[in-house]
Amino acid sequence: MAATTSRTLELLSLLQSHRHWSARELVDRLGVSDRTLRRDVDRLRELGYGIESARGSAGGYRLEAGTGLPPLLLSDDEGVAIAVGLRSQATAGLRGAEHTTLSALAKIEQVLPPALRRRIEALQSHAAVGAGGPGSGRSGRPTPEVDSELLGLLALGCRDSERLRFTYTDAAGEASARVVEPYRLVPVARRWYLLAWDRQREDWRTFRLDRMSDVFPTRVRFEPRPMGDDDARARVEAAVRWRDRSVKATVVAEMPQADLVEHLGWYGRDVVAVDADHCAWPLEADSVENLSMALMWMPRGVRYRVEGPPELLDFLAMQAERFAEASARG
């Protein structure tokens, strides 16, 4: 009986995650016969789920949208995401819907396991969400994906004052081992950042979550350093603004995107295609001198132009004259 119930719930989960399944796909996924599949579908219908079926070579099953709302099967990450969203909405105060928001939150949290409740509470209390949060970025670039499990792990480290060890890859592609005392998670310009005290550097540091890997809780507790939430957000935003003030340019090259990416390797991860024969390479540095050094990586014989601020273009023109004079023969 337990195996039958487990299999039926797995079938429901599959139907909720996909618009249409063929009968053959479901039989292969569940490892059952066609007859057993039909019985499991009938069990779900008896529980109030509307399931459409179609015959023929393109036939199969789909979960139809009904007039009622039958029970939903949620993964751990889905349950955490919904609960955190409802908590944030309840705190913000959805006008005219305060009661329904709190009611839905109570129903979800009532059935969550203790471990998931801890993740939710840590995220809610140690993630500073504000106007600069995800969705407020100015660029059209896709937002780097952040693993929800990593987000929960870091939030627990902040809440429990537990040192963390991880590998961090900086903007230049250099990886280093870090041991930090985590304080706050702050979303700014469509990215998540961890504000932490870096024990090797003996100073506050801001880490982008999508550049962190191999995060390991050390089980070593620390005494949190005094800092308010507003100061934490201001420190992270200042670090992000410093990058915004750096020199930016775009190199438009007369070569296919794939060829330039292959030539640059890791440093060409942001190269985008303009058309079949041209691509654009965005660059950023803290000075015109350092940015111009990247142009030395362009393949020989490839024509390109630089689009950037006047001070950069003037610097490149001046350097071109100096190179010409330095290389003049006789």
The domain segmentation of the chain, as residue ranges, is: 2-63, 76-126, 148-244, 247-327
Residue type present at position 142 = P
Spacing of C-alpha 236 from chain mean position: 18
Q: What share of the chain is helix, strand, coil (3-state, %, to 5)?
A: 45, 25, 30
Q: What is the pLDDT of residues 267-289, one digit of tens each?
A: 888 899 999 999 999 998 777 88
Residue type present at position 179 = V
Q: What is the pLDDT of residues 9-37, one digit of tens each?
A: 778 777 776 667 888 888 888 888 888 98
Cβ pair 78, 119 in contact under 8 A: no
pLDDT at 114 over 80: no
- Residues with Cβ within 8 Å of 133's Cβ and at least 6 positions away in sequence, in order, are 187, 188
Task: Please give the average per-residue pLDDT across 317-325, as a whole number.
Answer: 90
- Residues with Cβ within 8 Å of 57's Cβ and at least 6 positions away in sequence, in order, are none
C-alpha to C-alpha distance for 48 and 50, rounded to whole angstroms: 6
CATH code of 2-63, in short, is 1.10.10.10
Question: What pTM does this model have?
Answer: 0.44
CATH code of 247-327, in short, is 3.30.70
- Residues with Cβ within 8 Å of 265's Cβ and at least 6 positions away in sequence, in order, are none
C-alpha to C-alpha distance for 22 and 52, rounded to whole angstroms: 12
- Residues with Cβ within 8 Å of 301's Cβ and at least 6 positions away in sequence, in order, are none
Most confident listed range (72-81, 184-193, 236-245, 313-322): 313-322
Residue pointed to by tokens 């962190």: 212
C-alpha to C-alpha distance for 256 and 277, rounded to whole angstroms: 5
